[in-house]
Structure 1
Amino acid sequence: MESKKYTKLINFLLEELAIPAAAISLALRHVEQTPSLLPMVLWQYGLITVTQLNQIFDWLEVAS
């Protein structure tokens, strides 16, 4: 994932979905090698709901 889009994704998570920065930071530590897995890691750790996961995927589809 390109860094500009990745930054926009982080901002979307923080501002639109109100995901706590600590939750995003935790997930980022687990996806250093593959940043595109960030939404799945957030969900796997119970940091977002399935509804939020779907919102992220919808956002990623439009942002592409």
Structure 2
Amino acid sequence: MPTITYNRFVKFLQEEINLPQDSIAIAQRSVNQNLGLMPMVLWQYGLVTIEQLDRIYDWLETC
């Protein structure tokens, strides 16, 4: 994921999904090399609901 898109993605997670930075950091540590997996990691760790996961993927499709 390009840096600009990644920064926008993190902003989306914080502002639209209301994820705290700590939750985002947990997912970031888990996906180190493949940031495309971040939405799934957030869901697997129970940090987002299935509805939020759908919103995340919808947002990513528009980028």
Same fold (TM over 0.5): yes
Structure 1 residue 62 displacement after superposition: 1.0
Tell me what 1:54 maps to: 54
What stretches of structure 1 move > 2 A for 4+ residues in a row? Answer: none
Residues of 2 paired with 1:33 and 1:61: CA distance? Answer: 20
Aligned residue pairs total 63
Residues of 2 paired with 1:57 and 1:23: CA distance? Answer: 18
TM-score, normalized by length of structure 2?
Answer: 0.96
Identical-pair percentage: 48
TM-score, normalized by length of structure 1?
Answer: 0.95
Tell me what 2:15 maps to: 15
* CA RMSD of superposed structures (Å): 0.6
Structure 1 residue 10 displacement after superposition: 0.3
In structure 2, list runs of 5 or more residues that go unmatched: none
In structure 1, list runs of 5 or more residues that go unmatched: none
Tell me what 1:31 maps to: 31
